[in-house]
Amino acid sequence: MHNTRERLISAYNLPKDTGIFIMPSGSDAEYIPLLIAQLLNKGKKVNNIVTCNEEVGSGTLDASGGKFFSALEPIPGYTSHMEGGAGMSDPLLGLADGVTTYAINARETSGGVLDSNPDIEKVLA
């Protein structure tokens, strides 16, 4: 993984101290900005907005809320505190605390593009 990160830094001419996260899926990638937001804003609530919700992976909304998005347990024994193990939409320890997610669709059912700004402004108000 180190070699892959170094090659990406070189290929994109990025500063040497750039952090590169390699994730198995887009849903997994949702955990990174959520964790960073929580670390930089300890004790504060986090509102996480998922735009184009119907066009991203099915696990995106759960993951952006710090929840399991799959029925498979990624780290055996991690959920031993949960009777029967974790299931989809169960909170990840510490990551789901104080997080509210908002799903905003990009399109009407007919396929027309929606203006997401009014919905985003409601969340931010």
> What is the SS3 assignment for 37-55?
HHHHCCCCCEEEEEECHHH
Tell me the per-residue pLDDT of 19-57, one tens digit each, with 9 for 90 and over: 998 988 888 899 999 999 999 999 899 999 998 888 888
Q: What is the mean pLDDT of residues 102-108?
A: 89
Phi, psi of 117 (to 5 degrees): -55, -45
In the structure encoding, which two tokens stand for residue 28, read together? 């997994």
Q: Is the pLDDT of residue 108 over 90?
A: no
User: CA-CA distance, 34 to 39, in Å (whole number)?
Assistant: 9
Task: List the chain domain ranges.
Answer: 24-124
User: CA-CA distance, 35 to 63, in Å (whole number)?
Assistant: 11
Note the pLDDT of residue 81. 52
pTM comes to 0.76
